Homo-oligomer: A and B are copies of this chain.
Amino acid sequence: MTRVGVNGYGTIGKRVADAVAAQPDMELVGVTKTSPDYGAEAAIRRGYDLYAAIDDRVDEFEAAGLTVSGTLANLLDAVDVIVDCAPSGIGERNQPVYEAHDTPAVYQGGEDADIADASFNARASGDEVVGADSLRVVSCNSTGLSRILAPLDEEFGVEKSRVTLVRRGGDPSETDRGPINDVIPDPTTIPSHHGPDVNEILPDIDIDTAALKAPMTAMHTHSVNVTLDTETSAEAVRDLLSEQSRVFQIPEQAGIDGAGTLKDYASDLGRPRGDIWENCVWEKSVSVEGRDLYLFQNVHQEADVVPENVDAIRTIATDVSRSESVARTNEVLGVGFDSLLADGGSVQAPMTADD
């Protein structure tokens, strides 16, 4: 049984906590919050022990009526692995604290790559992650790209990849983010950090990335071009992607036309928080011109790294193989859509949500 703590109970932390608590081979010892807000209340309601992320704020929680089990230091001493889910850059400040407590750590992709022994993606990482004392799960976008580039490279060879990332401006709960009426080159310099970040996982892939921010909150959208080493067909690519357990190809006939309907589908299937852990590749977009592959995919920025965190914990703390860990994580969380809609089913009328 691996004892796990989650430091930071925000968008990613709350989901990692739920995923860890669901694993039969893991024990969620507790989670931290910096302040007693609705998220802290919700953690307690879920039965999670709450720790103050900042020592001198224990009184603040008590004043708000929320009981804390201790501070971050107490949590670190009680766990085998800490998952750092603090905002970008705070993980760097936390690192010496974890090391002082001799607690192995999983970091998120908002931190620099050198914070950990290796960067991590369950599908695409090499053996450099074995035996690591700390791992960094690459960002949602880099996770989404690594998951498709690895099999494409193995099957067809990747000569060059060019990706435009149209990123959501903020998460649904980030009411103060923007843009509200623009699409912002971010950064304006090319490449964005995503290409180099993919190279932390797949060092031999030639990839350039250009990134924008758009006024939407539900998901990121990637416009992907991959020049392959060998000619192939769209069908062969679809077949390859259909074998990837964390890639969902959106059926043409499902009446799903954007992130709104995609997330609605996830909620319809009873997914907690409407989460989508898989890359969502638009089946109809997969096309091949000579050696050039094109496709659109959506990535749920709140969720796709969650199963990766679970696998990173196992990689650090156990001898369970990566493939076995992925299988376990998928099984417990329910990763993988298996559409009932037959290929070639005909949806003739445009659908509305109230039809």
Q: Chain A residues in contact with chain B, CB under 8 A?
A: 8, 10-14, 33-39, 41-42, 44-46, 60, 63-66, 85-88, 171-175, 181, 217-218, 253-261, 263-265, 267-270, 272-274, 339-342, 344-349, 351-355
Q: Which listed residue, B8, B36, B87, B173, touches A264 by the CB 8 Å rule?
A: B173
> How far apart are A18's CB and chain B's nearest CB, in angstroms?
10
Is A42 within 8 A of B265, CB to CB? yes
Q: Which of A10, A39, A217 has the most CB of B within 10 A?
A: A39
20 contacts between A and B (CB under 8 A): A35-B347, A36-B345, A37-B255, A38-B256, A39-B355, A41-B339, A42-B269, A46-B268, A46-B270, A66-B341, A87-B355, A172-B218, A173-B261, A173-B353, A174-B353, A175-B257, A175-B258, A175-B260, A217-B260, A267-B274
> How far apart are A238's CB and chain B's nearest CB, in angstroms?
18
In whole angstroms, what is the CA distance A354 to B15 when docked? 12
**By DSSP majority rule, is chain A's interface helix, strand, loop, or mixed?**
loop
Is A352 within 8 A of B87, CB to CB? yes
> How far apart are A91's CB and chain B's nearest CB, in angstroms?
11
Q: A38-B261, A258-B175, A354-B86 are in contact. Are A45 and B11 (CB under 8 A)?
A: no
Q: Which listed residue, B35, B37, B349, touches A34 by the CB 8 Å rule?
A: B349
Kindly list chain B residues whose C-beta atoms are within 8 Å of the C-beta of A86: 354-355
Q: Which listed residue, B12, B46, B175, B218, touches A261 by the CB 8 Å rule?
A: B175
Is B45 within 8 A of A351, CB to CB? no
Q: A11-B353, A46-B270 are in contact. Are A347 and B39 (CB under 8 A)?
A: no
